[in-house]
Structure 1
Amino acid sequence: MSEPDKINIFSFTGKMRALHLSWIAFFITFVVWFNHAPLVTAIADSLSLTREQLKTLLILNVALTIPARVIIGMLTDRFGPRRVYSALLALCSIPCFMYALADNFTQAAIARFLLGCIGAGFVIGIRMVSEWFPAKQLGTAEGIYGGWGNFGSAAAAMTLPTIALLFGGEDGWRYAVGLTGLMSLAYSVIYYMSVSDTPKGSTYFRPKNLGGMEVTSKGDFVLLLIMKIPMYAALALLTWKLSPQGVSMLSAGIATAIYIGLTLLYLLDAWKAWQINKEIFSKPVPTIHQYKFKQVAVLNVLYFATFGSELAVVSMLPLFFMDTFELDPVMAGLVASAYAFMNLMSRPGGGLISDRFGRKTTLLVLTAGLAVGYATMSIIDSSWPLVLAVVAAMTCSFFVQAGEGAVFAVVPLIKRRLTGQIAGMTGAYGNVGAVFYLTVLSLVDYQTFFLVIAGTAVLGFMTLLFLEEPKGQMTEVMPDGTVTMIDVS
């Protein structure tokens, strides 16, 4: 018996139950991940942090998410979303409690670095939702999952300062942060008890190997190795930021050791990729089983510009409004939350438009709007009325988040059994973008920062011309060896 074609957001049965439980899990990961941004001034006062140390915490917060998203994507494809999401929510409550109890910059930095892992939760739900919804509804469903979950950062901005004030005293922020950790721990149990990886009777397709992404042509193998480089480069950039050339959190010797370690890790990663894909060099993959990795590469670049800029802007926007319009921290947090508030409708809207009007066309329009939006943000100064500045931020935010929804309307349509890994790599590129943009922010003024994002959006638009509209069907092999065709249009 098939479920109705329409998505009924007020339903809590079948596929909608899986969707609602998953976006709530994602929502909680974002509350935890961004529980520091709206409390930044209280934390700075409590721990006697400098402005440079604060910016370092912002970068640390998104650093570990880069490898975490890739690894969590692999684990999701192998072990299923239910187990992996539940484990992530439970484990990441630990560094959350560590952050709430931190007494100095070093302790806060270590906790914040480890908390970056919770940002990998997003890719788990992408696979879960793709198992429950047909292709014609997938963009909308993934958009709801991403948009409503992403709203966690806005919810944190709107509620945590008030919660901290309710507890009162200079430790109010600690109670607010600790409360988010308790929420994550409790929901890990609820999620595990309440969902299943697939609808009853459906097959959960798993990759042939754990430890690397499969590709289906020699050219794609080379492109895969190239696309891995920016992820390691972002971690090297972070190391540089923490070295004596930056905030001197790491000694020159440790920084050099990390550079060498990252190089060796890349070579090991490339070797693992070769081990998994070496057969394609001796025996071509049948056409029916091929997919084009260039699709993944294009989506990576687009997510760098969309989600990368969102992460960076959500992290710095309260400070931007405080500095530009001389607002108090609570008001700045509320005003800045308008940017993330757009997630509620923008990301589902991007997915819905993509379902209706085509994946590529939607992305082209939204990426163009993204470039214009950030160019506009770059000219905001204290002479602007605050209302107009907020409207400009919200308009820009629409294109950013609708673009994210449109990107992940395509991701699950490339290769079903690799959806977690593809989502992991594309999601990781969002964090590569965030590390890049936040590093730029630490070196330039706000206006230049927004202009740099606009420039990368233009680059994303040019890359997008190489994307092919998903159409027809993709194939997967059942455990008994029979071939299943899955509609992608």
Structure 2
Amino acid sequence: MANSKFNLFRFSGKMKILHLSWCAFFITFLVWFNVAPLISLLAVSLDLTQNQLKTLLILNVALTIPARVIIGMLTDRFGPKRVYSLLLFACSVPCFIFAFADSFELLAFARLLLGCIGAGFVIGIRMISEWFPVKELGLAQGIYAGWGNFGSAAAALTLPTLAILFGGENGWRYAIGITGVISLTFAFIYYINVSDTPKGASYYKTSKINAIAVTSKRDLYLLLIFKLPIYAALALLTWKLSPSGVAMLTTQVTYLVYFTLSVVMLSDFMQTIRANKSLFSHHPPEHEHYDFKQVAVLCLLYFSTFGSELAVVSMLPLFFAQTFEVGVPEAGILASSFAFMNLMSRPAGGWLSDRFGRKPILFTLTIGLAFSYFGVAQIDSTWSITAAILLIMLCSFFVQGGEGAVFAVVPLIKRRFTGQIAGITGAYGNAGAVFFLTVYSITSVQIFFYVITASAVLSFIALFFMTEPQGYISESNENGTITRIPVG
């Protein structure tokens, strides 16, 4: 069934896996972004300050950074079926806590934990790569991610209206609580109806939960360097929560968090070196080789694309409300135009990559990203709402098309590490979100968009160092034989 015709209207074989997986991803984003369109109602209900509101938005993406790396490891070891189901089940709990919280501290705690549900994306990348051939992989990954990403738009479109229908100052609580019920229910639906691979196919898994393996000393040094921005993003978040920022943490707690991050980082580095110590005594077999430089470039691209998407989706309802003086439901609907493009933009990025090559399409979409964000930076109250929405949608096409093109490459690097490669690439997206949202919280909206523009230009330059996937990747079977998987 995995080699049957690609038909979106079928619900069997690989198409069933695709549809159930994008639904799972859709639900994770519905839950993850259920606060942004209701932020104004929260402010009134619990008398929250602007700093507290911005803190909640930053906390919403914080733990997703390490969670994506960890979830990637768990997926490669235990398989996407079990890991996705468990994530949906577990994250319904902080969703319910948030819905019934009566203090900022409890809201912040629940929001921090809810950031973990954003790691669900990584799981589906591995699942889809197991079920679809390379000639359909970009399109399938694009549909999975694009239609799943629409969960944030669905939240913006439906939750404000749902909260108003429930009525009263607690209407937002019921709206958020419903998303938790959906997540809890679908955890069981997904587990019952999917399998990790087509019947008879091998699931190439890591032998244990461990740091990602690389195949040269140069790649080991590059891996260690590329871990630094992830910890830097977490340190930046800590600074934002410190007395120098919104003063949610005391000075003593802030220093304790810095110290803990330093210890964890050193431990991570030691574990990574220990897992790759064989590189210092002998070269790995040729069939195990892959180039980590590919991963590094994809990380930078996802920092600019998905990082900016998360940041923009989080701030756009408030931006429209303040710039054009519209109400909460109207602002949510207008802001959904950005995420709405996910339905076709991300699949288009994957499809174009399948048809015209991964690297050329990434070049095209990244330069479009830079120019369109520069244009969005010019939007102010003198613009018509129609013109602003059209430019936002154009920008969204390049953002999400670029994301689709990035993950058309990720599964073609090394199959058994697909979850971990997707994890670190996805973590860079969230690191970008923390960075961009921090810029948003301390500068003007125009500078915020200019900073994103600059990151897109740097990503365009980095693309010159990426190599188009060609030939085969090889994986070792449990019986010692080698399977060659075509990638181009």
Do both share a fold (TM > 0.5)? yes
* Structure-to-structure mapping, 1:188-337, within 5 angstroms: 188-337=187-336
Residue aligned with 2:485, SS: strand
Q: Where do residues 135-146 of structure 1 align in structure 2 (5 Å cutoff)?
A: 135-146=134-145
Aligned-pair distance for 1:288?
A: 2.6
Alignment-mate amino acid for residue 330 of structure 2 = M
Q: Which runs of 5+ in 2 are unaligned?
A: none
Q: In the alignment, residue 167 of structure 1 is paired with which amino acid?
A: F
Find the counterpart in structure 1 of residue 485 from structure 2. Answer: 486
CA contact (8 A) 2:305 2:429 kept: yes
Q: Which amino acid aligns with 2:121?
A: F
Distance 1:219 1:456 in 2: 25
Contact 1:209 1:276 in 2 (8 A): no
Question: Using the alignment, how far apart are the partners of 2:478 and 2:3 within structure 1?
Answer: 26
Matched residues in 2 for 1:216 and 1:390: separation? 47
The alignment partner of 1:465 has SS state of: helix
The letter of the residue matching 2:471 is G
Moved >3 Å (runs of 4+): 1-5
Contact 2:62/2:112, CA 8 A, preserved across alignment = yes
On the 8 A contact 2:27/2:183 being kept in 1, the answer is yes
In structure 1, distance between residues paired with 2:467 and 2:195: 33
CA distance in 1 between partners of 2:237 and 2:4 (Å): 48
Take 2:118 and 2:403, find their aligned partners in 1: how far apart are those partners? 15
Between the aligned partners of 1:136 and 1:331, the Cα distance in structure 2 is 41
Q: Does 1:439 align with 2:422?
A: no
Whether the 8 Å contact between 1:347 and 1:401 is mirrored in structure 2 is yes
Q: Provide TM-score, normalisation by structure 2.
A: 0.99
Deviates more, 1:284-293 or 1:428-437: 284-293
Q: Does the residue aligned with 1:41 lie in a helix, a strand or coil?
A: helix
List aligned pairs for 1:22-101, cutoff 5 A.
22-101=21-100
Which residue of structure 2 aligns with residue 384 of structure 1? 383
* Deviation for aligned residue 1:207: 1.6
Q: Which residue of 1 aligns with 2:150?
A: 151
For residues 119-141 of structure 1, the C-alpha deviation after alignment (integer angstroms, 9 at most, x for no partner) is: 00000000000000011110000
Quote how far apart the aligned CAs of 1:150 are: 0.1
Match of 1:4 in 2: 4
- Counterpart of 2:42, as a letter, is I
Q: Structure 2 CA distance, aligned partners of 1:368 and 1:386?
A: 25
Distance 1:230 1:289 in 2: 27
Please give the alpha-carbon distance, in whole angstroms, between the structure 1 residues aligned to 2:410 and 2:326.
40
| 2-structure distance, mates of 1:2, 1:273 | 35
- Uncovered stretches (5+) of structure 1, i.e. residues with no partner: none
Amino acid at match of 1:451: Y
- What amino acid maps onto 1:101 in structure 2? F
Q: How many residue pairs end up in the alignment?
A: 488
1:243-278 deviation per Cα after TM superposition (whole angstroms, max 9, x unaligned): 100111111111101111111111100111111100
Amino acid at match of 1:264: V
Contact in 1 for aligned 2:287/2:475 (Cα 8 Å): no
Give the TM-score normalised by structure 1.
0.99
Shift of 1:210: 1.5
- Percent identity of the aligned residues? 63
- 1 CA distance for matches of 2:134 and 2:363? 20
Q: Does 1:104 align with 2:99?
A: no
SS at match of 1:192: helix
Cα shift readout 1:189-244 (whole Å, capped 9, x = no counterpart): 00000000000000000123412100000000000000000010100000000010
Provide the C-alpha distance between the structure 2 equivalents of 1:210 and 1:442, rounded to a whole number of angstroms. 37
- Report the counterpart of residue 475 of structure 2 in structure 1: 476
Cα drift, residue 2 of structure 1 = 6.5
Letter in 1 for 2:247: S
- Residue 355 of structure 2 corresponds to which residue in structure 1? 356
**DSSP 3-state at the match of 2:409:** helix
**Secondary structure at the residue paired with 1:484?**
strand
Retained in 2: the 8 A contact 1:415–1:474?
Answer: yes
C-alpha RMSD of the superposition: 0.8
Query: Deviation string for 1:35-76 (max 9, x for gaps)?
Result: 001111111111111111101100000000000000000000
Q: What is the CA deviation profile of residues 136-161 of structure 1, one whole-angstrom value per residue up to 9, with x for unaligned ones?
A: 11000000000000000000100001
Distance in 2, Cα, partners of 1:143 & 1:157: 22
SS at match of 1:486: strand
In 1, the alpha carbon distance for the partners of 2:209 and 2:279 equals 17
Cα distance in 2, alignment partners of residues 2 and 144 from structure 1: 16
User: Once the 2 structures are TM-superposed, how far is the Cα of residue 15 of structure 1 from its aligned partner?
Assistant: 0.4
Task: Return the alpha-carbon distance in structure 1 between the equivalents of residues 89 and 310 of structure 2.
Answer: 23
* CA–CA distance in structure 2, aligned partners of residues 198 and 287 of structure 1: 26
Which amino acid is the alignment partner of residue 391 of structure 1? L
CA contact (8 A) 2:2 2:132 kept: no
Determine the C-alpha separation between the residues in 2 that align with 1:288 and 1:468. 18
Q: Secondary structure at the match of 1:303?
A: helix
Alignment match, 1:368: 367
- 1:118, 1:332 → 2: CA distance? 25
State the secondary structure of the residue aligned to 1:249.
coil
Tell whether 2:364 aligns with 1:345: no
1:128 corresponds in structure 2 to 127
Corresponding residue SS for 2:484: strand
In 2, the alpha carbon distance for the partners of 1:475 and 1:398 equals 34
SS in 2 for 1:474: strand
Query: Residues 458-477 of structure 1 correspond to what in structure 2 (within 5 A)?
Result: 458-477=457-476
Q: Distance in 1 between matches of 2:342 and 2:129?
A: 20
CA contact (8 A) 2:3 2:132 kept: no
Q: Secondary structure at the match of 1:388?
A: helix
The CA distance in 1 between the partners of 2:164 and 2:49, in whole Å, is 23
SS in 2 for 1:90: helix
2:77–2:207 CA contact under 8 A, matched in 1 = no
Mapped contact 2:2–2:198 kept (Cα < 8 A): no
1:425 and 1:47 mapped to 2: Cα distance? 36
Residue 4 of structure 1, CA deviation? 3.2
Corresponding residue SS for 1:283: coil
2:382 and 2:247 mapped to 1: Cα distance? Answer: 37
Alignment of 1:375-454 (within 5 A): 375-454=374-453
Task: Report the CA distance between 1:395 and its aligned residue.
Answer: 0.2
